[in-house]
Each structure stands twice: as C-alpha cells, then as structure tokens.
Amino acid sequence: MATVYLTVPISEEAVRSLQVGDTVYLSGVIVTGRDAAHKYMVETFIRSAAVPESERALYEELRRLLAGSAIYHCGPVVRQREDGRWEFVAAGPTTSIREEPYQADVIAHFGLRGVIGKGGMGARTLRACQEYGAVYLHAVGGAATLIADAVKEVLTVYKKDEFGVPEAFWVIRVENLPLVVTMDSHGRSIHEEVRAVSEERLQGLLGIPA
C-alpha cells in the first residue's frame, strides 16, 4: 500500500497505478454532486437526444471541470461570508450507492478519474473504472468538519436555487484531501471483498454449506 499525492487534472496513467488500499491526498478543483446532480447530468446531457440550448453553457463548463477530475458525493453545510463568498462548514461524504444507476455513464461521458464518497459502489461502476481508468476514493464518514478544512476555496456553485444547497454542484478547490482507494481500475473492490468474506463467515456460523 502506497501514499500518493495527486493534483487535478489526473492522468489515466496515474490512476491506473493506484491499488486498493492506497492512501491518496488529492489537491485541485473538484465538483460536488449527489442524487439530483447525477440524475440531471444523465437525463439532460448523456441520454438526451440533444443538449438543450438553455443548459449548454453549464454542460460545457461541467465537461471542462470534470475531465481528469473527481466528483464528490457530498451535501455540504455552507455559510456565506460578508463579502458574498461561500465557505464549507462541513463536508462529509454521502452514501455513494445511491448514484449507482448513473455513475458509470458520468465517468464515461465526462472523463472522470475519481469518484469520492463512502460505502463503495456496485459492479457497473467498477466496470467503468476498469474500462475508462478511474477509481473510487473513500472519504472518512463522521469527519465532516475535518474534511471541510481541506476545502480551501469555493469557486462557484451551480443549480443551488433549483436543487437546493446539498444537491447543488459546488466547485471547490481542495488541498491534500485525505482519501483511500477502495475500488481500483484493476477490478478490485474492497467493499465486495468484505461482503463476500462476511457472507462466508455468516454461512459458517449458521451451518450453511458453502
């Protein structure tokens, strides 16, 4: 297991060098996005016959921001300063499996190199990580204030009024955000491995033949 410092934009080579268990300190510009954001990206951009003209500017901006970067499953607690700028008070990860219906498509379409959250994701996302060169990065749950310390700047926000604060696209600059690779581009998922071992042990305790 290695400790790696990565800066956005992240190359495919750098991502494919990562292994499950590696510690990553991530710096650069990333974007938050949860249920509403993922549904919006897939339905409005990826599976739509054409990008609506009213949404084209945001589409192009998201393509620029997400290529070689990471999306963070996070519903932050924010406050607005007297100068009008926003800052994160708490930035804990959201349970990622809720984005499983969308994540593979978002990885493929926008060129993501990282997905950040907690709890891991499923087989479709894992296959996308293998095919396109991406990893799932686990953020520590229950450490929302500590994680917020790594958010050095809120650059802008999109869809706040439409989706609400937790579901909006927050564009943030992070420095040495501490993460652990739990799904890599080689087909390994520590979440699936733990599930399989736990199931085997449970069957043993119950006396169920393997």
Q: What is the pLDDT of residues 71-113, one digit of tens each?
A: 999 999 999 999 999 999 999 999 999 999 999 999 999 999 9
How remote is the C-alpha of 193 from its chain's centroid? 20
In this structure, are residues 61 and 40 in contact, taking their beta carbons and an 8 Å threshold? no
Q: Which helix (H) or strand (E) holds 40?
A: helix 35-40
Six-digit token pair at 92?
């804990």
pTM score: 0.91
Task: Kindly list the distances between the CA atom of residue 28 and the CA atoms of 99, 191, 197, in Å, as whole numbers in the listed order.
Answer: 23, 27, 36
In this structure, are residues 76 and 170 in contact, taking their beta carbons and an 8 Å threshold? yes
38 is catalytic: yes
Q: Identify the active-site residue in 38, 73, 138, 191.
A: 38
155 — phi, psi (to 5°)? -80, -45
What is the CATH code for 3-206? 3.20.130.10
